[in-house]
Amino acid sequence: MLLAACGSKTEEAGGAGDRRPPQLVAAMAVPMEDYAPTLVALGTVTPRQSVAVRPRADGQIDSIAFAEGDYVRAGQVLFRLDPRQAQAALAQARAQLASAVATEVQARADFERAEALVGKGFISGTVLDQRRAAAEGARAQIASARAQVNNAETQLSFLTVTAPISGRTGELQQRLGANVRQGDAALVTINQLSPIHVRFLVPAADIAAARAVLRQGGGRVVAKTQVGGEILATGKLVFLDNNVDPGNGGVTARAEFANQGDALWPGAVVNVELPLAAPTPHLTVPEGAVQTGRDAPFVWAVSTTAAAAAPKTDAGAAAGAARGAGATVQMRDVIVAGRLGGKVYLSSGIKAGDQVVVDALARLKDGDAVRLKRPGDAQNAAQIAGRAGAPPPTAPAGAAG
């Protein structure tokens, strides 16, 4: 019996020696916050209209009436080409019109005289028919000459190149004095910046929800910077492509922004956020508090059993429990409703008010004893966990897990 007792004491001593010391961790109470399932994607800014201004006639550039990068309005003069040859052609056409008018006057007078003489028998009916044909031919020559004048005026107008749309000009492709030909490469490109579009991809899982948003007026789309998440502009969904991309199963979407102040610039890549449903309350934890498990994501929940076991009269024990004395951690599987802005919104797995660990997660094991940091330190740790764990916006936030 003595040997058995000694053996029992030795085992107890060995078990105490193997027990892990309490880990110092930061924890926070889980709040409820409103969350709407949100599509988060990368978008590319594209102009609503982009027009390459090309010459419609041959000529030498005589003048350029704008500077590169200027904002121009539709109809504003951009280039003037050498007009001398076109002006000469117009003068020639007008002269031919005047000649045709004079010929018609003479032919009409001859026909009128023939009409008066044929009744008196001085000329035959054949001559009258000839005079009538000559008068009608003269009238046709006037119509042809007028068409030539219109054509010459049109060709002359092509030598003054105007802006087809309002927008901002790009780099000049032809300089003063250059000879250009009809249909040559663009002289300059104009991009319409207000309103402006952002193109992005809607994953297959969110197509139905995005279509519902479009039917209801387009919702509220937010464009943010990739670094810092600063809001650049807010707009609405205006377009979903009519075909699913077989390569990725998604649909191309386009959002429109008023773009006052040109905050969005063509070619820029921005983060796009599109709420897909009305917001509802969800359990909210920092991104870094959610770990990836073998079967499901999980959090470390703090269990302070000492507080429940301490008598109400034992104020010291209750205070110690509040500071984490006798606390342990438990692995809790959770269901993720979405991720947005460094936060994870949970559907289930924990309850509002539960304490979850927000730092020192890698050192923990299920059932470990822990000591909690002061509230101020815990708050700082939660903020750091939210910033450090924020994922890149390449997938819809509404996907569970």
Which class for 78: exposed (0-12), middle (13-18), buried (19 or more C-beta within 10 A)? buried
On whether both 199 and 247 belong to a single domain, the answer is yes
**Beta-strand runs (E) in 293-348:** 297-304, 327-333, 335-340, 343-348
Tens digits of residue pLDDT in 363-373:
888 888 988 88
pLDDT at 351 (0 to 100): 92
For 6-48, give the DSSP string: HHHHHHHHHHHHHSPPPEEE-EEEPPEEEE--EEEEEEEEEES
On whether both 256 and 355 belong to a single domain, the answer is no
Task: Tell whether 364 is covered by a domain.
Answer: yes
On whether both 326 and 382 belong to a single domain, the answer is yes
On whether both 296 and 311 belong to a single domain, the answer is yes
Residues 306/317, Cβ–Cβ less than 8 Å: yes
On whether both 293 and 364 belong to a single domain, the answer is yes
On whether both 63 and 139 belong to a single domain, the answer is no
On whether both 294 and 367 belong to a single domain, the answer is yes
pLDDT at 14 (0 to 100): 45
Judged by DSSP in three states, 3 sits in helix
Q: Which has the closest alpha carbon to 297: 399, 400, 368?
A: 400
Task: Tell whether 184 is covered by a domain.
Answer: yes
Residue that finishes a domain, picked among 222, 255, 275: 275
Cross-strand bridge partners of residue 141: none
Task: Tell whether 8 is covered by a domain.
Answer: no
pLDDT at 128 (0 to 100): 84
* Calpha distance 299→290 (Å, rounded): 5
* Calpha distance 2→318 (Å, rounded): 40
**Beta-strand runs (E) in 241-334:** 251-257, 269-275, 280-286, 291-292, 297-304, 327-333
Tens digits of residue pLDDT in 193-214:
999 999 999 999 999 999 999 9
pLDDT at 228 (0 to 100): 87
Amino acid type, 104: E
| Full residue range of the structural domain in which residue 377 is found | 21-35+281-388
On whether both 62 and 183 belong to a single domain, the answer is yes
Q: What is the CATH number of the domain that holds 73?
A: 2.40.50.100
Q: What is the CATH number of the domain that holds 120?
A: 1.10.287
pLDDT at 399 (0 to 100): 37
Residue that finishes a domain, picked among 275, 301, 320: 275
Q: What is the CATH number of the domain that holds 292?
A: 2.40.420.20
DSSP state of 400: -
Residues 346/285, Cβ–Cβ less than 8 Å: yes
168-172: long-range contacts at Cβ-Cβ below 8 A with a sequence spacing of 24 or more?
168/69, 168/70, 168/71, 168/72, 168/193, 168/262, 169/66, 169/68, 169/69, 169/70, 169/71, 169/72, 169/78, 170/68, 170/69, 171/68, 172/64, 172/68
pLDDT at 316 (0 to 100): 41
Q: How many domains are contained in the chain? A: 4
Give rounded-to-5 percent helix, strand, coil for the chain. 30, 30, 35
pLDDT at 125 (0 to 100): 84
pLDDT at 120 (0 to 100): 79
* Calpha distance 316→293 (Å, rounded): 37
Task: Tell whether 12 is covered by a domain.
Answer: no
On whether both 293 and 381 belong to a single domain, the answer is yes
Q: What is the CATH number of the domain that holds 217?
A: 2.40.30.170
On whether both 271 and 327 belong to a single domain, the answer is no
On whether both 305 and 371 belong to a single domain, the answer is yes
Residue that finishes a domain, picked among 255, 275, 295: 275
Give the other-Cβ count within 10 Å of 268's Cβ. 16
Task: Tell whether 227 is covered by a domain.
Answer: yes
* Calpha distance 356→389 (Å, rounded): 16
pLDDT at 209 (0 to 100): 94
On whether both 371 and 286 belong to a single domain, the answer is yes
Tens digits of residue pLDDT in 108-141:
998 888 888 887 778 888 888 898 999 999 999 9
pLDDT at 398 (0 to 100): 37
Task: Tell whether 308 is covered by a domain.
Answer: yes
Residues 36/279, Cβ–Cβ less than 8 Å: yes
Residues of the chain with pLDDT under 50: 1-17, 306-322, 378, 388-401
Residues 275/222, Cβ–Cβ less than 8 Å: no
Task: Tell whether 118 is covered by a domain.
Answer: yes
DSSP state of 1: -
pLDDT at 146 (0 to 100): 96
Task: Tell whether 265 is covered by a domain.
Answer: yes
